Amino acid sequence: MRWSSLIVFLGCASWEVAASAAKLVPGKAFDRLITIWLENQDYANVILEPSITDLKRRGILATRFYAHTHPSQPNYLAAIGGDYFGLDHDDMVHIPENVSTVVDLLEHKNVSWGAYMEDLPGPGYMGNYSEGQEGIGGNWDYVRKHNPFVSYDSVTMKGDRLLKLESFNDFQRAFKAKTLPQFVFMTPNMMNDGHNSSNKFAADWSHKFVQPLLAENAFDEKTLILLTYDESEDYSQPNHIVTLLLGSAIPPALKGTEDSTFYTHYSMLSTMENNWELPNLGRYDVGANVFKFVADASGYKNNQDPENAPTVNNSVSYPGFLNGDPKKKLPIPIPNTKLIGAGGLPILDKIKVAWSGATRDKSWQTPYDGSGRVCDGDRNPPIYNPSKSNVKGTSI
Ligand SMILES: *[C@@H]1O[C@H](CO)[C@@H](O)[C@H](O)[C@H]1NC(C)=O
Ligand SMILES: *[C@@H]1O[C@H](CO)[C@@H](O)[C@H](O)[C@H]1NC(C)=O
Ligand SMILES: *[C@@H]1O[C@H](CO)[C@@H](O)[C@H](O)[C@H]1NC(C)=O
Ligand SMILES: *[C@@H]1O[C@H](CO)[C@@H](O)[C@H](O)[C@H]1NC(C)=O
Ligand SMILES: *[C@@H]1O[C@H](CO)[C@@H](O)[C@H](O)[C@H]1NC(C)=O
């Protein structure tokens, strides 16, 4: 009697495991994306670090990857929201609930996600910073400016989303239990990300940190690890940063190679849209080049280099809703509801509905045209036009 009920119990448990594994949404080139963000280093210096040179052998080096502006915070916000809304500082900001992020796109398709911030004192913590284990002289280790999720009300106003912002300890637990979500955003603390240490420190830390993630049996699913920097250190240069693509999703023949396609932090968004056939945000996500090995796997055709690339000065923020200069404050631009993104789909329906009131007002135009043109606060400001499709011969 006891044995048979045990068998029933075990049978039930394995059925549940099978059921949860079946919920994984397979992608065209990867089933999981883990992105790890380091701080403030120039491309030219990073590629000289032995730890990075060693990692490069095991993946693809993106040689023309650019951040959007300075300082840190706008770059993080851009990577999940498809714009940085003119932000030019690191202080606390709030973006209203009617602005969507990648979270809305992923949840629409039931692709699981989570964000892990080292030294976050507890799930969903919304404070400005927190002291961890490594801070020097009582200083903080976790900083809100490196956690883009807490600045979007569309994340923080929903308890279940807020609870998905966790610490590195939670990451390690989920990794060991093989329960990591399919999109994972990771911010190391201010020492490990290099902000308060050095180029070498961050490179060595990363090398050590990713070893278990690169091990043969680390994941059952095809996993892409995107090791990137938020911005360059030198503000007089065009914000050229190192990004390495690693993990079991990299085709063996491409290990140790370079990819010279033009990318920005918006490429992470367009790549996920392409990989999982997600709708789009109607912002700068549309038109950003998809990582080549993913585009090749899905048959997607990237844009050429942005025509204004040589004159871009990605060191200064354009005017916008979050700009600290009152003279440079503008309303949040309406998303372009007529764009088709790299997932082959239009804007997420919910976004179209949320902004339908605004589109009726003819004075509102949009800077998002799906062309991949790069904008800065110098010679290449956003250009506002009526919403227009980026696909010839269509009118949605
Ligand atoms: C929040 O922290 C940032 C540094 O990460 C600092 O620049 C800013 O002044 C702080 N804001 C508040 C309100 O404490
Ligand atoms: C997502 O999951 C919910 C609940 O299980 C289901 O009703 C819905 O059809 C799923 N959506 C997609 C796009 O798979
Ligand atoms: C990190 O650097 C900032 C200045 O960039 C400083 O204010 C802060 O105290 C430092 N924190 C640690 C943990 O060293
Ligand atoms: C978006 O939300 C903000 C804050 O609630 C509001 O001021 C704005 O009018 C909304 N925009 C649209 C188009 O509804
Ligand atoms: C970038 O733009 C700023 C602001 O217009 C300007 O001060 C700076 O000199 C420009 N840098 C380059 C390299 O053009």
CATH of 29-386 given 1.10.3720, 1.10.1060, 3.40.720, 3.40.50: 3.40.720
Pocket of ligand 3 (CB under 6 A): 135-136, 139-141, 190, 196
Sign of CA dihedral 325, 330, 332, 335: negative
Substitution site in 93, 95, 98, 329 for ligand 4 pocket (most atoms within 8 Å of beta carbon):
98
Residue 91 near residue 336 (C-beta atoms within 8 A): no
Closest CA to 311 of 373, 263, 256: 373
pLDDT > 90 fraction of the chain, expressed in percent and rounded: 86
Residue 378's pLDDT is: 95
Q: Which atom of ligand 4 is nearest to the CA of 355?
A: 13
Sign of CA dihedral 199, 200, 205, 211: positive
Residue 228 near residue 35 (C-beta atoms within 8 A): yes
pLDDT digits (tens, 9 = 90+) for 119-167: 999 999 999 999 887 666 666 799 999 999 999 999 999 999 999 999 9
Q: Which ligand is nearest to the CA of 352?
A: 4
Structure-token match 């279940």, residue found: 160
The whole-model pTM stands at 0.93
Minimum mean pLDDT among 11-15, 48-52, 284-288, 315-319: which range? 11-15
91 in contact with ligand 1, CB cutoff 6 A: yes
Substitution site in 91, 129, 130, 190 for ligand 3 pocket (most atoms within 8 Å of beta carbon):
190
pLDDT digits (tens, 9 = 90+) for 27-51: 999 999 999 999 999 999 999 999 9
Cα–ligand 4 centroid distance for 222 (angstroms): 39
Confidence class for position 258, pLDDT limits 50, 70, 90: very high
Classify residue 1 by burial, with Cβ atoms within 10 Å: 0-12, 13-18, 19+: exposed
Distance CA 234, CA 238 (A): 8
Residue 161 near residue 103 (C-beta atoms within 8 A): yes
Instruction: Assess whether pLDDT exceeds 80 at residue 396.
Output: no
Residue 101 near residue 81 (C-beta atoms within 8 A): yes
Residue 132's pLDDT is: 81
What are the sequence ranges of the domains in the chain?
29-386
Q: What is the mean pLDDT of residues 202-227?
A: 97
